Chain A
């Protein structure tokens, strides 16, 4: 998940950054290229000072040689050949050669073509002519040199461009090959790892499944594409999945869940599915990637654990409170019924006329028999209780309550009850029987949940809190938002066999109170101001802790 999300902002640079970097790199390449080329290229003739000088001299000499014969025919011969020499020098030798050519031409023209001829002096009448020539020559040299310069720049630019293009092409080809290789390796990876992998279009249609997934489902890619993979989902999970997937696709957010998927063998197994959107820089979903993890065994173990937990919670409660007292009542009432009935029969036999003594004696014998049996039952029950009541020690009620709430979590979820636990951090330990005290707390919590069964439309909140109360005792309160206790019931609620529940025995609170009282504590109840009831009990703190903290 993280790798996908962090990609646009973290690892890879921004688009503009890429541009800037490439440009910078390119620029360095170019300048390096340019310097290396200027260094490597051998100097041409026209590029050394001497060469330029010679070039100008030769060209001007050529112009002179060509122009001299013409002087015989025209008094003011065309000096265009000198201009040509200047321009050619500037073109091939650069500005410096052009200026040399101007200098030589000026000398030549002055000497040969400006009156007085064959002399460097200039007659006043020819001054304008001469200066016109010089200016024109300078201009020709400058124009030619700058034209040449721009032409060269252009050529160089074209060369560089070509070079750049060829380099880029090579780069691109190389990275293409690399990319293909990487893709091949990645594909290989998805096929090799023992995980089911899929991808989907932004709209949620499956477009790729790895071989593991196809093998499991026993289908080919075509049979899984689009929405056809839904056919492999358990019908009971279909709606749930559809909703989760549609929601994720609509929001473009990662999605996950547990669903049963049918394998090639027709059996359904539990899978944990997780899908992640690959997003573009601007946040739109480009593609979905997901994995399915087989959690069948885990899921089954979890279910078993959950069931066991619920069973244990239920069993311990039923056994500890209800079932035990029911079976005791049954065990004792049977022989008792026999005793009473035989007694009645005995009286009937005796009051007959004449009294049937034999039958009366038989009845009396049976009374003794069944009475003895009732005694045996009582003895057995006493033995049972003896086994339980024994160990007393330091008990941390915080620990006891926390254990209980873990225990009751599933029951609370099933009944849609939220349990709030508030335990004072400095709760001192009490002295007592841990199992018995846990039974009391369990009984109060279960009573609270039962009381909220009827309040279907109200929030069901069960609050248990424990704190130190004064120097010598702690107080544990259980508050529920249930139906509450009527005035009459609140007086009798701790009596044995009094119950307000249809399936209750009426022993829980009575036993709880006797347990608390045997610990030198007190258990009582009061109405909760916002509705419901509060049951609380106090217990004395261990003597050694009273002095330490009191």
Chain B
């Protein structure tokens, strides 16, 4: 995986708060990109890098909580750290339930903010790694022939070569060849490795 510098997006309608956040993040060696509204953030092109979002709840136009929902719906699960001048319990619980990393009340402490940002970035990194792995497995799986796929699913379900041969009406030798080629293409070191990989793609590709 390429080493890309993580980005922290800040969405707050108050420029002095935005600037202060950028100043602090820069001081601890992080890159911050600033937006004045949710719409500005949605319109922007974002680099493919581990990232998190520091988001004000009270914003003109679409509010912070709505933006969080919108991102989740459109399949962009950027981890969110909320900041607000006036937070209450229902607002907090709604945000946390929707997957927010932290809910901070202004003025917040440095260590709370940095801890939340670090945690959010870590979460995004993990997610991205998992996604990349899955993507690779998928690419390999897609390189299999239909027959190899058939054999693969029978193998991971625990059947012997002989059983598979009977089931698919093939000779045992042919099954062995398909099996070997599938293992090779999937870059599986062992049967256990193949089973693990198949589990990850099962939901999407198994018919």
For the A-B complex with A330-B85, A502-B90 known, give 17 more contacts whose Cβ atoms are closer than 8 Å.
Answer: A333-B106, A334-B14, A334-B16, A336-B106, A337-B17, A337-B20, A341-B17, A341-B110, A344-B27, A345-B23, A359-B27, A362-B23, A366-B20, A369-B16, A370-B20, A373-B16, A502-B88
Give CA–CA (A510, B113) in the complex, Å: 32
Give CA–CA (A503, B14) in the complex, Å: 24
Answer yes or no: B28 CB below 8 A from chain A CBs: yes
> Which residues does chain A contribute within 8 Å of B28, judged by CB atoms?
348
**CB-CB contacts below 8 Å: A334-356 with B:** 334-342, 344-346, 348-349, 352, 356
Contact B24 A342 (CB under 8 A): yes
> In the assembled complex, how far is the CB of residue A337 from the closest CB belonging to chain B, in whole angstroms?
4
> In the assembled complex, how far is the CB of residue A13 from the closest CB belonging to chain B, in whole angstroms?
76
Q: Name the one of A335, A344, A352, A503 contacting B110, with C-beta atoms under 8 angstroms.
A: A344
Q: How many residues of A contact B (CB 8 A)?
A: 29
Give CA–CA (A356, B86) in the complex, Å: 34
**CB-CB contacts below 8 Å: A253-269 with B:** none
Give CA–CA (A105, B107) in the complex, Å: 153
> Which residues does chain B contribute within 8 Å of A344, judged by CB atoms?
24, 27, 110
Answer yes or no: B65 CB below 8 A from chain A CBs: no
Answer yes or no: B2 CB below 8 A from chain A CBs: no
- The 3 closest A-B CB pairs, nearest first, are A348-B27, A341-B20, A333-B85
> Which residues does chain A contribute within 8 Å of B17, judged by CB atoms?
334, 337-338, 341
Contact A326 B88 (CB under 8 A): no
> Which residues does chain A contribute within 8 Å of B106, judged by CB atoms?
333-334, 336-337
Give the secondary structure class of B's interface.
helix
Answer yes or no: A251 CB below 8 A from chain B CBs: no
Counting chain B CB atoms within 10 Å of each CB, which of A338, A339, A366 scores highest?
A: A338
Q: A333-B107, A337-B106 are in contact. Are A363 and B16 (CB under 8 A)?
A: no
**CB-CB contacts below 8 Å: A300-357 with B:** 326, 329-330, 333-342, 344-346, 348-349, 352, 356
Give CA–CA (A340, B107) in the complex, Å: 7
Answer yes or no: B185 CB below 8 A from chain A CBs: no
Give CA–CA (A345, B86) in the complex, Å: 23
**CB-CB contacts below 8 Å: B87-117 with A:** 88-90, 106-110, 113
> Which residues does chain B contribute within 8 Å of A342, judged by CB atoms?
20, 23-24
Answer yes or no: B193 CB below 8 A from chain A CBs: no
Q: Which residues of B does A touch, CB under 8 Å? A: 14, 16-17, 19-21, 23-24, 26-28, 58, 83, 85-86, 88-90, 106-110, 113
Give CA–CA (A333, B16) in the complex, Å: 11
> Which residues does chain A contribute within 8 Å of B27, judged by CB atoms?
344-346, 348-349, 352, 356, 359, 363
- 10 A-B pairs with CB atoms under 8 Å apart are A329-B86, A330-B58, A333-B85, A334-B14, A338-B20, A340-B108, A341-B20, A348-B28, A363-B23, A366-B23
Give CA–CA (A338, B17) in the complex, Å: 5
> Which residues does chain B contribute within 8 Å of A336, judged by CB atoms?
106-107
Q: Mark A372-415, 1 if CB is under 8 A from B, else 0.
A: 01000000000000000000000000000000000000000000
Q: Name the one of A326, A338, A348, A362 contacting B16, with C-beta atoms under 8 angstroms.
A: A338
Contact B20 A333 (CB under 8 A): no
> Which residues does chain A contribute within 8 Å of B26, judged by CB atoms?
345, 359
Give CA–CA (A319, B99) in the complex, Å: 33
Give CA–CA (A316, B23) in the complex, Å: 41
Q: Name the one of B20, B24, B88, B109 contacting A348, with C-beta atoms under 8 angstroms.
A: B24
> Which residues does chain B contribute within 8 Å of A337, judged by CB atoms?
17, 20, 83, 85, 106-108
> In the assembled complex, how far is the CB of residue A37 from the closest CB belonging to chain B, in whole angstroms?
106
Give CA–CA (A379, B27) in the complex, Å: 33
> In the assembled complex, how far is the CB of residue A502 from the closest CB belonging to chain B, in whole angstroms?
6
> Which residues does chain A contribute within 8 Å of B86, judged by CB atoms?
326, 329-330, 333
Contact B107 A339 (CB under 8 A): yes
Q: Name the one of A334, A341, A373 contacting B23, with C-beta atoms under 8 angstroms.
A: A341
Contact B90 A338 (CB under 8 A): no
> In the assembled complex, how far is the CB of residue B44 from the closest CB belonging to chain A, in whole angstroms?
23
**Residue in chain A with minimal CB distance to B113:** A341
